[in-house]
């Protein structure tokens, strides 16, 4: 039997389904949060269900979700880890879980975290944790939420309050030649002009991967 006292804390970050070329930013931020708040801990990552080599007794397991049509795979992942690690705390979050929290709870007994995880939001992404993706770009937001309330959009559920991020440049990895922004509505930011000045100084290629509302 393993004596937990003799080991450092272990955490597991799980991406049940990987259907995009982008790594799960939320888990990357959580990785930084855990490393900042738990000295010398071990953070393991897993794409799909499985147990990484060296993982024996995770203190907490964070499971992300993306598309709602994959929610049953997220639920299966939660059940898998519930059976493997009965003493571990399991946290389910992300877009799909935030949109279907009652369904997730009915299937797993776990109440998902809805929306942003505030304790991780202020952390920079852990670029050593990219979930099997090879990337050469930083990922950031200059703002969260949106000033609009479009009927077809769930941003108001996921990020109900529009606010700017004043120090988004801390998310930037200097060694990467490009930046990808995931703002819902970057042009609505009152910091638009100052953000442009920051981008000019950074002198990197920029990809605005989400909405640009010019009205």
Q: What is the DSSP string of 114-146?
A: PS--HHHHTSPP-TT--TT----EEEE-SEES-
Q: Comparing C-alpha atoms, which of 80, 115, 109 is closest to residue 95?
A: 115
Grouping H, G, I as helix, E, B as strand and the rest as coil, residue 79 is helix
What's the CA gap between 142 and 165, in Å, rounded?
Answer: 5
pLDDT tens-place values along the chain, 215 residues long: 444 444 789 999 999 999 999 999 999 999 999 999 998 899 999 999 999 999 999 999 999 999 999 999 999 999 999 999 999 999 999 999 999 999 999 999 999 999 999 999 989 999 999 999 999 999 999 999 999 888 888 898 899 999 999 899 999 999 999 999 999 988 888 998 999 999 999 999 999 887 777 65
Give me the torsion for CA of 180, 183, 188, 191, rounded to 10°.
-60
Residue pair 70/17 in contact by the 8 Å Cβ criterion: yes
pLDDT score at 215: 56
Class of domain 9-119: alpha beta
pLDDT at 126 (0 to 100): 97
Distance CA 186, CA 192 (A): 7
pLDDT at 16: 98
Residue 214: per-residue pLDDT: 62
**Do the beta carbons of residue 107 and residue 75 sit within 8 Å?**
yes
According to the model, what pLDDT value does residue 75 have? 98
> What is the chain's percent helix, strand, coil content, to nearest 5?
35, 15, 50
């Amino acid at each position: 039997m393993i004596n937990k006292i003799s080991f450092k804390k272990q955490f597991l970050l799980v991406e049940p389904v990987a259907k995009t070329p982008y790594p799960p930013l939320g888990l990357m931020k959580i990785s930084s949060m855990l490393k900042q708040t738990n000295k010398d801990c071990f953070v393991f990552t897993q794409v799909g269900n499985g147990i990484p080599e060296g993982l024996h007794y995770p203190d907490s397991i964070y499971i992300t979700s993306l598309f709602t049509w994959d929610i049953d795979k997220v639920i299966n992942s939660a059940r898998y880890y519930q059976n493997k690690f009965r003493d571990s705390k399991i946290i389910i979050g992300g877009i799909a879980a935030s949109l279907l929290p009652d369904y997730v709870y009915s299937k797993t007994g776990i109440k998902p975290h809805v929306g942003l995880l505030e304790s991780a939001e202020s952390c920079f992404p852990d670029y050593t944790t990219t979930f099997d993706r090879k990337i050469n770009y930083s990922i950031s937001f200059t703002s969260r939420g949106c000033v609009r309330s479009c009927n077809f959009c769930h941003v108001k559920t996921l990020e109900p309050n529009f606010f700017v991020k004043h120090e988004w440049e801390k998310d930037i990895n200097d060694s990467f030649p490009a930046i990808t922004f995931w703002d819902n509505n970057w042009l609505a930011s009152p910091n638009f002009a100052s953000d442009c000045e920051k981008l000019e100084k950074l002198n990197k290629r920029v990809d605005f991967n989400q909405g640009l509302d010019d009205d």
